Chains A and B, each alone.
Chain A
Amino acid sequence: MKDRMRTEEKVRLLGKGARAARISTYVTVLLTATKAIVGLLSGSIALLADAVHSLSDIFTSLAVWLGMKLSQRKPSERFSYGFYRVETLAFMIVAIVVAASGAQVLLESLKRIPSPSAISLAPATLTVAAISAFVSYLLYRFKSRVGDETNSQALQGEAKHSKVDVWSSAFVFAAIAVHYFGFPWAEGIAGLLIGLLTIRLGLGMGRDAILVLLDACLKPELISQMRQVASEVTGVRGVHEIKVRRSGPFIFVEMHVEVDRTIRIDEADTISTTIEQRIKNMIEEVDSVTLHVEPSKKDVYRVAIPVEQDRGLDSRISEHFGKSPYFILVDLHEDGARSWFVIENPGAGIERKRGIEATHLLVQHRTDVLVAKEVGEGPYHALRDSSIEIFDLDEKSDVKQVLQAFSRKELRSLAHPRETA
């Protein structure tokens, strides 16, 4: 249900982006038509040239509009990851057009340095340039805002494209002023700079688009955040091979999670669902998380055994978990090495919730396994919730004997709480 709502939310966001691109297309068409008409009427070549340049703006706006519209399509068998990538392709088209228009400005300016153009001070040209700069600025603000909101690279790129138009229009004014003061070559130099900046912008955007299409992870900090969130989920022993890739405005995640090898798949499902929900809550743009759950490759097991006294490995085993005065904690390494220490159970003396106290103690000491004969219902579930495996002590009374049996995997799991009145 929650996923369904998220899908609708995504379609809504993409729809919002498509609407912004559509509005921007209309405005650009209007602006271009105005420039062309005024250009024709006033006979200003500069305005006509500008109108031709605006055609590329219409083209990119259309590309983004179409891209965001197609992105909303539901995943199909053929496109099982959905169509979000169309948005990235639209972004690439924007990048190519921006870089090409930069190159064009650069070439034009190079031509103009030796032979500066005669600038007409026609009021019509100036007025239209001012209006165009203002409208481009509004478009830039609008697309930038919606682009951030929808996390759409294409719209953000379009916003930058409009920003270039603001510069260009401002530059027309500056060129006229500078020309007036007698530096006709300044126009060419300024055009050169704008051309270079535009090419750099286009190439930068193209690079980002290609990185996304190559499945690169653009935000490595996301990986450490996800690792953190997943590791904090109870039952998770380790997280590795986190793969993050972007598709349009969304993110796909694959992750390997290590859990205790003996837990059941239905329990593992709960862990997976929790991880998935927490990641999606933390990072909104996450579309799907594929979790590969595998048994922990841990090579050290910390085994806790309740004991009557503090005599190391020779201590006598206590039959009851909560009432036991001490616990011996033994670290068993895969290679057979072992080390141990004994801790006092502060809850042994109290009347109620002794087992819960003892559980907290074991959790604090990062225990993996408890071997006991009697574990009450409350502590039994508390221990399992903390992913501490519980094994049956059976008839064994010697710590060393228990450890040997554990290493040989002879111990049986304690399937139910057990308590003798």
Chain B
Amino acid sequence: MSADDARTALLQKGITVSKKSTLVLVALSIAKGGVGFLSGSIALLADAAHTIMDIAGSMIVWLGLRLSLRKPTDRFPYGFYKAESICTLIVCIIMIVTGAEILRDSIQRFYAPSVISFRPVVIAVAIGSGFVSYLLARYKEKAGREINSQGLRVESKHSFADVLNSGLVCGSVLFTYLGVSWAEPLAAVIIALFLLWAALTFGKDSVFSLMDVSPHPEMRKAIEETIVDTAEIKGVHALRVRRAGPLVFVEAHVEVDGRTTVEEAHAIVGEVEDRVKKKFKEVDSVTIHVGMIHNKKRS
């Protein structure tokens, strides 16, 4: 089936993106650690350690997408798409913990400003890593939107927080020069709040997905219209749409004339299912129950 192949290709693309970004992060972490070790900069070593958390998050999303690709089994008749939602939730929890930690540290720094070193190597690495993080954030956001993966999108926000962080390292030089000691911790608070906001937004989203939430109401409406847009179908009720990771499952009851034969009804429904799947590429399965028209008025 071509629709299935298209979906597999999308998930495959997500896997490639998350794999590449994991590898880039590993390289970045090694570079920071190496430079930090050689130059003896504690700040860079700490940053390298922080990047390890990023690697963990990236790997979890990678794992989630890989699991999603598995074929349905007897035990998992709906496939493994929800693994993506669970992995997204785990990444969000990691981000909440990280964000809370940064928040705590930066609030402490209001009272006891840290001593900033002006070592050019630190600034150079910060600029380089900020640039790489920015590219990663763009790359993951684009792919995440394209394949409808919340995991990739939250990872993109994570990388964006890293960009802000690198910016902060450069900015702190300026702040110290200007003599505004409160500016640096304030910027850190803003970064922490950004991380917490992203984690809570996407965390809520993945919890909703695990609760069988409908995709946005417009899509539900559009699916309903696509189903009704068939001469023989007189009505739709009990339309149920739910998200599973990047995909969508549909169940519906449609009404046709009671005199239609099962064979005819099957052909009608088969055509409708194909139409829905073609129009909404994220729809994975459509189960339609055909019943007769409910109001028995017939002239």
User: A residues bordering B, Cβ < 8 Å?
Assistant: 77-81, 83, 85-86, 88-89, 210, 213-217, 220, 223, 241-245, 247, 254, 259-266, 268-269, 272, 290-295
Determine the chain A residues whose CB is within 8 A of the CB of B261 once the complex forms: 261-265
Within 8 Å by CB of B262, from A78, A88, A265, lies A265
- Once the chains bind, are B76 and A214 in contact (CB under 8 Å)? yes
Known contacts A79-B211, A79-B213: A262-B259 contact under CB 8 Å:
no
Q: How distant is A151 from chain B, measured CB to nearest CB, in Å? A: 18
Known contacts A262-B261, A265-B260, A266-B258: A80-B241 contact under CB 8 Å:
yes
A-B contact count (CB 8 A): 119
In the complex, whether B240 has a CB less than 8 A from a CB of chain A is yes
Q: Which chain B residues in 101-120 approach chain A with CB under 8 Å?
A: none
- Once the chains bind, are A269 and B239 in contact (CB under 8 Å)? no
- Once the chains bind, are B258 and A214 in contact (CB under 8 Å)? no
In the complex, whether B291 has a CB less than 8 A from a CB of chain A is yes
Interface residues on B, range: 35 or more
- Once the chains bind, are B262 and A264 in contact (CB under 8 Å)? yes
User: B residues bordering A, Cβ < 8 Å?
Assistant: 74-78, 80, 82-83, 85-86, 207, 210-214, 217, 220, 239-242, 244, 251, 253, 256-263, 265-266, 269, 287-292
Within 8 Å by CB of A89, from B211, B239, B263, B288, lies B211
Cα–Cα, bound, A89→B86 (Å): 11
Secondary structure of the B contact surface, majority rule: mixed
- Once the chains bind, are B242 and A81 in contact (CB under 8 Å)? yes
Cα–Cα, bound, A370→B179 (Å): 99
Q: How distant is A107 from chain B, measured CB to nearest CB, in Å? A: 19
Determine the chain A residues whose CB is within 8 A of the CB of B213 once the complex forms: 78-79
Determine the chain A residues whose CB is within 8 A of the CB of B253 once the complex forms: 290
- Once the chains bind, are A213 and B77 in contact (CB under 8 Å)? no
Known contacts A262-B263, A265-B262: A217-B240 contact under CB 8 Å:
no
- Once the chains bind, are A89 and B291 in contact (CB under 8 Å)? no
Cα–Cα, bound, A88→B85 (Å): 15
Cα–Cα, bound, A264→B214 (Å): 33
- Once the chains bind, are B262 and A81 in contact (CB under 8 Å)? no
- Once the chains bind, are A262 and B262 in contact (CB under 8 Å)? yes
- Once the chains bind, are A247 and B212 in contact (CB under 8 Å)? yes
Name the residue of chain B whose CB is nearest to the CB of A83: B211
Determine the chain B residues whose CB is within 8 A of the CB of A244 once the complex forms: 77
Cα–Cα, bound, A265→B263 (Å): 9
- Once the chains bind, are A259 and B214 in contact (CB under 8 Å)? no
Determine the chain A residues whose CB is within 8 A of the CB of B290 once the complex forms: 265, 268, 293
- Once the chains bind, are A265 and B258 in contact (CB under 8 Å)? yes
Determine the chain B residues whose CB is within 8 A of the CB of A241 once the complex forms: 77
Name the residue of chain A whose CB is nearest to the CB of B79: A215
Which 9 A-B residue pairings sit nearest by Cβ, starting from the closest? A266-B258, A261-B263, A243-B77, A80-B240, A215-B78, A81-B212, A85-B211, A295-B263, A266-B292
Determine the chain B residues whose CB is within 8 A of the CB of A265 once the complex forms: 256-262, 265, 290-292
Determine the chain A residues whose CB is within 8 A of the CB of B288 once the complex forms: 292
Determine the chain B residues whose CB is within 8 A of the CB of A260 once the complex forms: 262
Name the residue of chain B whose CB is nearest to the CB of A247: B212
Cα–Cα, bound, A80→B220 (Å): 11
Name the residue of chain A whose CB is nearest to the CB of B291: A269
> Looking at B77, B83, B211, B287, which has the most chain A CB atoms within 10 Å of its CB?
B211
Q: How distant is B206 from chain A, measured CB to nearest CB, in Å? A: 10
Cα–Cα, bound, A272→B287 (Å): 14
Name the residue of chain B whose CB is nearest to the CB of A273: B291
Given contacts A79-B213, A85-B210, A89-B210, 4 further A-B contacts (CB under 8 A): A88-B210, A215-B82, A265-B258, A265-B259
Determine the chain A residues whose CB is within 8 A of the CB of B260 once the complex forms: 264-265
- Once the chains bind, are B74 and A217 in contact (CB under 8 Å)? yes
- Once the chains bind, are A217 and B258 in contact (CB under 8 Å)? no
Name the residue of chain B whose CB is nearest to the CB of A270: B292
Name the residue of chain A whose CB is nearest to the CB of B265: A265
- Once the chains bind, are A213 and B242 in contact (CB under 8 Å)? no
Determine the chain A residues whose CB is within 8 A of the CB of B258 once the complex forms: 264-266, 269
Within 8 Å by CB of A294, from B83, B207, B262, lies B262
Determine the chain B residues whose CB is within 8 A of the CB of A245 once the complex forms: 77-78
- Once the chains bind, are B77 and A292 in contact (CB under 8 Å)? no
Within 8 Å by CB of B211, from A86, A216, A269, lies A86
